[in-house]
Amino acid sequence: MNYKYLALSLILASSFATANAQEKTECKKPSNIYMGVGVGAMSVLNDGLNSPTFNLNVKVGKYITPVWGIRTEIGAMWQSLETQEGTGYNDYCKKFVEINLDGTLSLTNLFLKYNPERKLNFYVFAGPTMNIASAVNGSETKNINIGITYPDITIGESNQTITGTKTETEIVDKDYNTESAKARFGATAGWGLDYNLSNKWALNIENRYGVTPSIFGWGSDCRTAEATTRLTIGFKYTFGGRNFCCGKKTIVEKEIIKEVVKEVPVEVVKEIIKETPSAATAAIFFKIGKSVISEEGMVNVKLMAKAMKKTPNTKYKVAGFADKGTGTVEINQKLSEARAQAVYDALIAEGISADRLEKVAMGGTDPMFEKAYLNRVVIMETK
């Protein structure tokens, strides 16, 4: 590789970035706010699994980082409690509303690193909950029936006797009455799986478990701490799309240049300061998961196109690369192809003939430079 002109193109790009720092120093911060809807079934876990009922939820949340997030969820519709032994109580489809506050943790991004092209995201969540439903109170009435006591009686000359028996029978009547709405507090936890259809849309399945005082009150054997479970499927929409690649552009470019210059021999760096670009080598760097040329990258494209026009008979190779440590082999191959195509198209737009260019997609190759982000690049060289 011609380090001399590679370093020169980077230094010139740095000058351009510094000159424009006052106009645009930061990228637009993404909101990473999403909204979701889910439908499914819910069951009370009291003496086993009770008959499932319909459950609906609406959630609003925010991805703070690729790993952590927060959200609030409102769930509603019905719960059912089947006849419990010893209570004589049953109620089907009792209405309720619950409000959940969750912290979310993406295990996929925690252990596999964030990849914007990844389709599946497995996460867990937990937090406090409050449910609201009408209260159910109970009362019991005890009726004591005492049997008649007979004295021993001798009948006739047969000396036959009848012995009386004293009996006491306890009869308990339980009554249940519904009162006004009541709030109950507890905790929930669960897991979820997203299938990302795009950067904005995702299909979603979730399973939530909770423990709160029962909405059935005295009618439940577990009225102080009743367990419930919900299984729902739905979708999520992220406003503006998921984006975690925000930061100061000028700082990023300077860091890239600093790292690349480390790879260039000192004597070469001293020579190139006085030189102007010629048809040799140039590098265009990309952000993670992206194939769009930045404003700074376009400086190198224009410089390279200008130099190419001075040697009209020379042909060039446009090689796209991806960071091997991020993403799958298939994703990195497609990403390197897209990056090479972007630079190829930009050169043609600058007036370079297509028959002078050869596109090569290198996929996720072994690191050419020390830092991973330096390998998200397209390198143009003479053939």
Domain ranges of the chain: 3-27+245-382, 33-134+178-238
Give the 3-state secondary structure of the chain: CCHHHHHHHHHHHHHHHHHCCCCCCECCCCCCEEEEEEEEEEEEECCCECCCEEEEEEEEEEECCCCEEEEEEEEEEEEEECCCCCCCCCEEEEEEEEEEEEEEEEHHHHHHCCCCCCCEEEEEEEEEEEEEEEEEEEEEEEEEEECCCCCCEEEHHHCEEECCCCCEEEEEEEEEEEEEEEEEEEEEEEEEEEEECCCCEEEEEEEEEEEECCCCHHHCCCCCCEEEEEEEEEEEEECCCCCCCCCEHHHHHHHHHHHHHHCCCHHHHHHHCCCCCCCCEEEEECCCCCCCCCHHHHHHHHHHHHHHHHCCCCCEEEEEEEECCCCCHHHHHHHHHHHHHHHHHHHHHCCCCHHHEEEEEEEEECCCCCCHHHHCEEEEEEC
pLDDT band at residue 341 using 50, 70 and 90 as cut-offs: very high
Question: Is pLDDT at 125 greater than 60 in this prediction?
Answer: yes
- For residue 61, the model assigns a pLDDT of 96
- For residue 225, the model assigns a pLDDT of 92
Q: Give the tens place of pLDDT for each residue, 29-47.
A: 668 999 999 999 999 998 7
Question: Is pLDDT at 210 greater than 70 in this prediction?
Answer: yes
In terms of pTM, does the model score above 0.85? no
Question: Is pLDDT at 19 greater than 50 in this prediction?
Answer: no
Is CATH 2.40.160.20 correct for 33-134+178-238? yes
Is CATH 3.30.465.10 correct for 3-27+245-382? no
